[in-house]
């Protein structure tokens, strides 16, 4: 039979879990909107992303306070302790991804410019893969699915390769078309931001494996 203290802890953990799910949903939507705005040159959608950043930041603070309260009131141990530790880290990762969504939304490039970029540059593919990585990382947390988390970690290199390919193609393009340098640099910055989002999604997946297996997998290529 559960003690009253354990029931109270469980209630606090459930509130924390639900808040983190909301945070994940907000950030995932922000990334979808920011990449859509970037790919379609949608200034109105970009403004929506920027306006949503405050809600994400406020929720990050709320989640941090919930974690602090659980530590202070209950001194959790074992799996309960891991959940709170993971919540703190994922919360921070999600807030940073939210900031990056705002960054992408501030770097719209006119279609007249993007049509002239080298055909080998597939920023749309990079956007879609990054979105999927974040979605899978969040789903692995919701379902405590270490296999899906492992797949997220292994997929990070694909994003790294796309970023390197983008840089490799754009540098000579800028040299040959200096009048398009400013817009080209925007594309480079967006590619770099997408890579960082993929890295943070990988961090989330690594925390899921720590949560489910009490196993630290950072910097390992074979998470399972």
CATH code, domain carrying 160 = 1.20.58.220
> Is the residue at 106 inside a domain?
yes
> Is the residue at 221 inside a domain?
no
Q: Identify the band that residue 219 occupies on the pLDDT scale cut at 50, 70 and 90.
A: low
Q: Is 67 in contact with 84 (CB distance < 8 Å)?
A: yes
On average, the pLDDT of the chain sits at 92
Each residue of 107-137: pLDDT tens digit? 988 776 666 677 667 889 999 999 999 999 9
* pLDDT at residue number 24: 98
Of residues 119 and 45, more confidently modeled: 45
Q: Provide the residue range defining the domain that includes 33.
A: 4-213
Total number of domains in the chain: 1
> Is the residue at 219 inside a domain?
no
């Amino acid at each position: 039979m559960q003690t009253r203290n354990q029931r109270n802890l469980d209630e606090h953990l459930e509130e924390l879990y639900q808040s983190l799910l909301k945070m994940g949903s907000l950030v995932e939507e922000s990334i979808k909107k920011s990449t859509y705005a970037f790919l379609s040159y949608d200034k109105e959608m970009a403004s929506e992303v920027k306006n949503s950043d405050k809600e994400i930041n406020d929720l990050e603070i709320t989640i941090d306070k919930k974690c602090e309260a659980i530590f202070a009131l209950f001194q959790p141990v074992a799996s309960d302790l891991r959940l709170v530790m993971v919540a703190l880290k994922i919360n921070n990762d999600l807030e940073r991804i939210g900031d990056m969504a705002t960054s992408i939304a501030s770097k719209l490039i006119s279609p007249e410019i993007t049509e002239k970029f080298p055909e080998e540059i597939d920023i749309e593919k990079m956007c879609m893969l990054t979105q999927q990585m974040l979605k899978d990382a969040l789903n692995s947390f919701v379902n405590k699915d270490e296999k899906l988390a492992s797949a997220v970690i292994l997929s990070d290199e694909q994003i790294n390769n796309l970023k390197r390919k983008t840089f490799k193609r754009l540098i000579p393009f800028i040299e040959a078309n200096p009048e398009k340098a400013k817009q080209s640099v925007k594309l480079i910055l967006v590619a770099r931001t997408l890579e960082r989002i993929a890295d943070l999604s990988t961090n989330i997946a690594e925390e899921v494996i720590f949560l489910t297996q009490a196993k630290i997998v950072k910097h390992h290529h074979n998470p399972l």
